[in-house]
Structure formats: C-alpha cells, structure tokens
Amino acid sequence: MYKESKWATEIISLQNEIGSWGYFHTLSEPDKRPITTEQALRRLSILGYTIEDKPIQKAVDYMDNCLTGKKQIPDRREKLHDWDIFSSLMLSTWIRKFTSENSLANKTADTWAKVITSAFLNDEYNHSEYVAAYYDAFGMKPRGGRLVDFLSFYQVSLTADMYDEKTENMVFDYILNKENGIYYIYGDAPLSILPEAFASKQASRYLGAVEILTSYKRNIGKLKFVYDWIISQQNENGKWDMGGSVIDKVYFPLSDSWRRKELRELDCTYRMQKLLNLLIPTV
C-alpha cells in the first residue's frame, strides 16, 4: 500500500542505471546523504518492494555482479576488518533478503552458518571455536568491526534459515539474550528485555530487530512476550500509535505525511499488524 508513496518515488528516482545508489554501505547512519544502496534497499523493503519489482531486480543484478567480481562497490576499503570478507557478507545478505535463488549468496550463507554452528558444538557459544572455524573458512582470524562475532544485522539475517533445529535453538537464544542486541539495528539492551516506552524510536528499532528474528521460524514461540506487548499497546480504537517522535526515514513515516494523526495511526497499525501476523504462531 506504500509502494506509490513519495518516499519510494524519490528513492527510485535516485537509482543509477546499473542498479546502485552512490556508496553501498552504511546502516548505522540512517540520515546520511546521499542515500546509499543499503539505505535504499532497506527503505524500499519496508515500503513493500520485493524481487518482483524492477528497481529491486536491478539492484540484485548489480549486487550479483559485485559478488562475482564483475563490478566493485565504490566504497573506501575499510581497514578495521577484512574488507573482502565483509563486502561478500553484505552483498550476500542483501541478495538473500530478496531472493534465495542466488547460488553464490547461498554459498556465503552456508559458510557463515557452518562457522557459527562450530561455535555451538558444545551446546553453548564458545568464542575460541568461533575464531578457529572462522580461520578455517577464511584463512585468517576475525579482526575489528563486525566480524569479531556474529551479532550484527548481516550474519543474523543471512543465516536464519541455514541451521538444523538444535543449532537454531541455541543461536536464537544467544541472540535474544546478548547484552548488546543486534549491531546496526538495536544495540540498547538484550532483545529479551522490552523497551520502557512503546512510543519511542527505541521501541521502533527494537521491533526492527524482532522483525529480523521472525525469520528463525522454529523459534517464533519464544517471542510470545513481544506479541503480548504489542497487543497491550492498542488504543481504545484498536489501533496503534507510536507518536511523532519515531520519524527516522527508515521505519517511519510510510504515508506521504503525518500532518494528520490518523495517517500516523494508519502507518503504525499497518506495521504492528504485519508483525503480529509473523508472530501468530506464538499464540
């Protein structure tokens, strides 16, 4: 219902012919301009765009070309971590966000799932085993940035459907209880602890992390407390309102304007109902 919004129109108008938007990486600075490819893809996904839409198809083709080495993302090579490993991780994550039919992205997901699985072979996370498995997979030890562990948007999203049942249970519990949440998405507190205020940017980011966790299908039941919390935040009209302060140009707004309260309620209610549908198996 939001694919024809002014937000989507503006983003699509900025897409390059090759399918990209300026630099590729940055999720941690959502207001940074010009818009990056990651920012554009995240926003378009939230606005309802899928692989069936031409702008996403162009972007996926571009990312596939970068992943195969036919093209390169234009970003400066970060020295904090191994840039080639990180680039492959980013590209594969975003490709698989829209399609599971890319063999190279699936191979990247399989590699990371095996690394993470190795860290849980003794039924709890062992960082030394993670480092050893990382070395076996990539020929070096993890260093700096978001490769030191796997609690970032990329690894958590990329590998959600790649584990056996036992490993998925352990990985999910580890993510849910980790003190810093999911890097790039929500780093305020463990995801097992609800935000204090529903009408807040913190709560909006928290729900963004929960939306990622719903991809761990076998563990949806562990998110029943989130389902109950969302239900408890309905107003007397059976709608939801997170307040005007949640505007971040990422999750909100979805409608062209929030000058009218009913449009804000419409957007918030749309997001809550969509998330509740994903969490229904918890009931």
CA distances from 261 to 10, 88, 169, 189, 268 (A): 23, 42, 41, 30, 11
Closest by CA to 5, choosing from 231, 226, 256, is 256
Cβ-contact 190, 176 below 8 angstroms = yes
pLDDT of residue 283: 44
Q: Which amino acid is at 67?
A: L
Q: What value, to the nearest 5°, has the Cα angle with vertex 276 and ends 178 and 110?
A: 50
Q: Domain spans of the chain? A: 1-76, 101-193, 200-283
How many angstroms from the chain centroid is the CA of residue 59?
Answer: 17
Q: Which two tokens stand for residue 51?
A: 């692989």
Would you give the DSSP letter of residue 120?
A: T
pTM over 0.85: yes
Ordered per-residue pLDDT tens for the chain, 283 residues: 899 999 999 999 999 999 999 999 987 666 666 899 999 999 999 999 999 999 999 999 999 999 999 999 999 888 767 899 999 999 999 999 999 999 999 999 999 999 999 999 999 999 999 999 999 999 999 987 778 889 999 999 999 999 999 999 999 999 999 998 999 999 889 999 999 999 999 999 999 999 999 999 999 999 999 999 999 999 999 999 999 999 999 999 999 999 999 999 999 999 999 999 999 864 4
How many angstroms from the chain centroid is the CA of residue 4?
Answer: 23
**Separation between Cα atoms, residue 46 and residue 24, nearest integer Å:** 18
pLDDT of residue 144: 73
Cβ-contact 180, 111 below 8 angstroms = no
